[in-house]
C-alpha cells in the first residue's frame, strides 16, 4: 500500500511536468498528420545507385540502449528527454535484425561482425570465416575464409575506411579485413604455438597485409603493432601499453613501406596531429589513438572528429567510398555495468551520425545504423515524465523496502549485498560516471542480450531494409544498392532509377497495342 501511495504521489507531481501543448489533443493530431505526410512521401522510392556507403555500428546498442540514449540526449539539451529525437530516429526505414550466431543463441561480437560485414553467419568467437571453422582450431580455417563488403567496395575501385573507438583489431573492425579462428589473436603474442605453427596469422598482421590499400584506419590498439616490451609513445612508463609482438616486427613501419611509390601514408597518434593534417596531400591515414572509457579531450579525438576526417579523406575518390564507423565503447560500458558511460557513448555515436549526414547527400549515400547485439540492460519502475535517466524510480521495493534506480541489469558486477541485504542505493552516488547499476545475478562482467536489434536506413535503396531480417542480409542489401560484390545484374545505372518513371507509360503503350 505504501508503495502505491508513493507511486500516486509521483504521478501527481509529474502532471505538472506535462508541457501545456501536450494537453491539447490537436497537438497530437497535427503531429500524427505530419508523420503521415512524411510516410506518404516515402512512396517515391530513392532507387539511385549508392555512390557511398556508411555503416554505423553501435556495439551492444540494443533497443533499450537506443531509447535511454534518446532520453539522455534530450536531458543534456535541458529537455525532459522522452520527446527528443536521435539522428538515427530521423532515418525513414527501420528493420529488425536477428543476431544469433550459428552456434549461439546469445551472440558475441565476432560472429555477428562476420554476419553484417561478410554476409555469412558464423560461429561465436570467429572472424571472417564460415561456420565450418571451430574456435581456436587454426587447422579448420583454410578454405573457409569469407570476404567483407569493405573488400567488395575496394575491388570496385572505391575508397574504404574504418573508424572505431576500440582497438582496430577488435571484433567489429577486424571482420572487415581478417580471417581468424579466434577473435583474441590480436598479435602473435596472443596466439598458441599450434596456431603459429599451423600458419595462421594474427589479426594485426592481417590488417597490414590482407587489404594493404585501406585508405583510412582510425582506432586504438597500437601495442599489437610493435615488438614485445617496446614502450608506448604516449604512455612510456606504463607496462600494460607496451608492445606485444614476438616476431619483432614494427607493423606501423611495414604499413607505411607497403604503400605504392609516390603515395603519402601518414601515421598519427595524437588528436592535434590528426586535426592538423592537410588531407589533400594524404593518400593513406593510420591514426592509432589511445582510447579508454574516459577520453582525454586534449590528446584523443572524439568519434565525431575522426568521422569528419575519414569522410573528407574518402570523398577524394570520384568512385565513392565505404566507411565502417563503430561506437565500440557502448559495449564496454555495459559489460562493466556502467550505464552512464555506455549511454554517453551512444549519444556520441549519434552525434557522429548527424555530422556524417551533413557531410553527405541522401541522393548518393546509403547510411545504415545498427548494432551487433544487445545487453541485459533495462530501465523502468514507473518513472514519471522527465525523470533523470540515471535517477531513482519513484517507489521503493515492496519486498525489501529500499529504493532502486530506474536503470538495472539482468546480471553483472552491480550485484551487491550489504549486511545480508541489497545495497541501499540512496547511500551511494548513483549518478557518478563509474557507478555500477544493480544487477539480479552477480557476474564480473555483464553479458550480451539475445533479442533482435534495430536497423535504421536512409539513402539509395534504403527501403530494402524493411522488416525482420537475418543479420547477414545487411551487407547484401548495401552491396546491391551500390552495385558492388557479386550481385550486379541490375546495375545499368542509367536504367535503374528511370524504370519506375517509365512503368506508367509502358503500361499505357501495352493497352494501346492490345
- Dihedral through CA 201, CA 203, CA 209, CA 210, nearest 10? 100
Residue 378 · residue 409 · CB < 8 Å: yes
pLDDT value of residue 16: 60
Domain edges within the chain: 46-376+455-482, 392-442
Query: How does pLDDT run across 63-75, given as a tens digit for each residue?
Result: 999 999 999 999 9
Does the pLDDT at position 447 exceed 70? yes
Query: How does pLDDT run across 305-351, given as a tens digit for each residue?
Result: 999 999 999 999 999 999 999 999 999 999 999 999 999 999 999 99
Helices (H), 444-494: 473-482
Of 4-8, 18-22, 239-243, 270-274, the one with minimum mean pLDDT is 4-8
Question: In terms of C-beta density within 10 A (0-12 exposed, 13-18 middle, 19 or more buried), how is residue 139 classed?
Answer: middle
**CA–CA distance from 285 to each of 90, 234, 264, 299, 312 (Å)?**
31, 19, 9, 18, 12
Three-class SS of residue 230? Answer: coil
Q: Active-site residue among 14, 16, 64, 109?
A: 109
- State the CB neighbour count (10 A cutoff) for residue 316: 13
- State the CB neighbour count (10 A cutoff) for residue 1: 6
265-274 own/partner pairs: CB under 8 Å, 24+ apart: 269/222, 269/233, 269/234, 270/234, 270/299, 271/298, 271/299, 271/300, 271/301, 271/305, 272/299, 274/218, 274/301, 274/305, 274/306, 274/309
**CA–CA distance from 247 to each of 30, 107, 192, 292, 342 (Å)?**
66, 33, 14, 27, 36
**CA–CA distance from 114 to each of 149, 205, 329, 445 (Å)?**
10, 19, 19, 23
Report, as an integer, the average pLDDT of 201-214.
Answer: 97
**CA–CA distance from 216 to each of 69, 134, 309, 500 (Å)?**
28, 31, 9, 37
Residue 212 · residue 257 · CB < 8 Å: no
Backbone angles phi, psi at 474, to 5 degrees: -55, -50
Averaged pLDDT of the chain: 92
Q: Which helix (H) or strand (E) segment is 4 a member of?
A: helix 2-15
Query: How does pLDDT run across 355-397, given as a tens digit for each residue?
Result: 999 999 999 999 999 999 999 999 999 999 999 999 999 999 9
Dist CA 127 CA 122 (whole Å): 8
pLDDT value of residue 284: 97
Q: Is the pTM of this model over 0.85?
A: yes
- State the CB neighbour count (10 A cutoff) for residue 136: 15
Separation of CA 79 from chain center = 26
Residue 311 in grid coordinates: 569522410
Does the pLDDT at position 38 exceed 80? yes
Dist CA 234 CA 199 (whole Å): 33
Nearest Cα neighbor of 64 from 355, 300, 379 is 379
Three-class SS of residue 209? Answer: helix
Helices (H), 379-449: none
Fold of 46-376+455-482: Alkaline Phosphatase, subunit A (3.40.720)
Q: What is the end-to-end Cα distance of the chain in Å, rounded?
A: 78
**CA–CA distance from 27 to each of 11, 32, 292, 384, 423 (Å)?**
22, 9, 44, 21, 44
Residue 91 · residue 369 · CB < 8 Å: yes
Does the annotation flag 202 for ligand binding? no
Q: How confident is the model at residue 298 (pLDDT cuts 50, 70, 90)?
A: confident
Does the pLDDT at position 233 exceed 50? yes
Report, as an integer, the average pLDDT of 269-285.
Answer: 95
Residue 180 · residue 127 · CB < 8 Å: yes
Does the annotation flag 335 for ligand binding? yes
CA-angle at 472, arms to 469 and 476, nearest 5°: 95
Does the annotation flag 170 for ligand binding? yes
Does the pLDDT at position 463 exceed 80? yes
Report, as an integer, the average pLDDT of 176-193.
Answer: 97
Does the pLDDT at position 434 exceed 60? yes
Backbone angles phi, psi at 36, to 5 degrees: -65, -45
Does the annotation flag 241 for ligand binding? no
Dist CA 443 CA 428 (whole Å): 20
Dist CA 309 CA 211 (whole Å): 21
Does the annotation flag 372 for ligand binding? yes
Our answer to whether residue 109 is catalytic in this structure is yes
pLDDT value of residue 109: 98
- State the CB neighbour count (10 A cutoff) for residue 338: 23
Q: What percent of the chain has pLDDT over 90?
A: 85
Going 253 to 258 to 260 to 263, the CA torsion angle's sign is negative
Residue 371 in grid coordinates: 548494432
Query: How does pLDDT run across 413-426, given as a tens digit for each residue?
Result: 999 999 999 999 99
Does the annotation flag 136 for ligand binding? no
Query: How does pLDDT run across 75-127, given as a tens digit for each residue?
Result: 999 999 999 999 999 999 999 999 999 999 999 999 999 999 999 999 999 99
Amino acid at each position: 500500500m505504501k508503495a502505491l501511495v508513493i507511486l500516486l504521489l509521483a504521478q501527481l507531481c509529474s502532471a505538472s511536468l506535462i508541457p501545456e501543448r501536450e494537453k491539447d489533443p490537436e497537438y497530437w493530431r497535427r503531429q500524427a498528420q505530419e508523420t503521415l505526410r512524411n510516410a506518404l512521401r516515402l512512396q517515391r522510392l530513392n532507387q539511385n545507385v549508392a555512390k557511398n556507403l556508411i555503416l554505423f555500428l553501435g556495439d551492444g546498442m540494443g533497443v533499450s540502449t537506443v531509447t535511454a540514449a534518446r532520453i539522455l540526449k534530450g536531458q543534456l539539451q535541458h529537455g525532459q528527454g522522452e520527446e527528443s529525437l536521435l539522428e538515427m530516429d530521423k532515418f525513414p526505414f527501420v528493420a529488425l535484425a536477428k543476431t544469433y550466431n550459428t552456434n549461439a543463441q546469445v551472440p558475441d561480437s565476432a560472429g555477428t561482425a562476420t554476419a553484417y560485414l561478410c554476409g555469412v553467419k558464423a560461429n561465436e568467437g570467429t572472424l571472417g570465416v564460415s561456420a565450418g571453422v571451430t574456435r581456436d582450431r587454426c587447422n579448420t580455417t583454410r578454405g573457409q575464409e569469407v570476404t567483407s563488403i569493405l573488400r567488395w567496395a575496394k575491388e570496385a575501385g572505391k575508397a574504404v575506411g574504418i573508424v572505431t573507438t576500440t582497438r582496430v583489431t577488435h571484433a567489429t573492425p577486424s571482420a572487415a579485413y581478417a580471417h581468424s579462428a579466434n577473435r583474441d589473436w590480436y598479435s602473435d603474442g596472443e596466439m598458441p604455438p599450434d596456431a603459429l605453427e599451423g600458419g595462421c596469422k594474427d589479426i594485426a598482421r592481417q590488417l597490414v597485409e590482407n587489404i594493404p590499400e585501406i585508405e583510412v584506419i582510425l582506432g586504438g590498439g597500437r601495442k599489437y603493432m610493435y615488438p614485445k616490451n617496446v614502450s608506448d609513445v604516449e604512455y612510456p612508463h606504463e607496462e600494460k601499453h607496451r608492445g606485444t609482438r614476438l616476431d619483432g616486427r614494427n607493423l606501423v613501419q611495414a604499413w607505411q613501406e607497403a604503400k605504392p611509390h609516390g603515395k603519402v601514408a601518414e601515421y598519427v597518434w595524437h588528436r592535434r596531429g590528426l586535426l592538423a593534417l592537410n588531407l589533400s596531400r594524404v593518400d593513406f591515414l593510420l591514426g592509432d589513438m589511445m582510447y579508454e572509457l574516459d577520453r582525454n579531450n586534449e590528446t584523443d579525438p572524439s568519434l565525431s572528429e575522426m568521422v569528419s576526417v575519414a569522410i573528407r579523406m574518402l570523398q577524394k575518390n570520384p568512385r565513392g567510398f565505404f566507411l565502417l564507423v563503430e561506437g565500440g565503447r557502448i559495449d564496454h560500458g555495459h559489460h562493466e555495468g556502467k550505464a552512464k558511460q555506455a549511454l554517453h557513448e551512444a549519444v556520441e555515436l549519434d552525434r557522429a551520425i548527424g555530422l556524417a549526414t551533413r557531410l553527405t547527400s541522401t541522393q548518393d549515400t546509403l547510411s545504415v545504423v545498427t548494432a551487433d547485439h544487445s545487453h541485459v540492460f533495462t530501465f523502468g519502475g514507473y518513472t514519471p515524465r522527465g525523470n533523470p535517466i540515471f535517477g531513482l524510480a519513484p517507489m521503493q521495493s515492496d519486498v525489501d523496502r529500499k529504493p532502486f534506480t530506474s536503470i538495472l541489469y539482468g546480471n553483472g558486477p552491480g550485484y551487491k549485498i550489504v549486511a545480508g541485504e541489497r545495497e541501499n542505493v540512496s547511500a551511494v552516488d548513483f549518478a557518478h560516471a563509474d557507478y555500477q547499476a544493480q544487477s539480479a545475478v552477480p557476474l564480473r562482467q555483464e553479458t550480451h542480450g539475445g533479442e533482435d536489434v534495430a536497423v535504421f536506413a536512409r539513402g539509395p535503396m534504403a527501403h530494402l531494409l524493411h522488416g525482420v531480417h537475418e543479420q547477414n542480409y545487411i551487407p547484401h542489401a548495401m552491396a546491391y544498392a551500390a552495385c558492388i560484390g557479386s550481385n550486379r545484374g541490375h546495375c545499368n545505372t542509367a536504367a535503374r532509377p528511370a524504370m519506375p518513371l517509365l512503368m506508367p507509360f509502358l503500361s499505357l503503350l501495352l493497352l494501346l497495342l492490345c
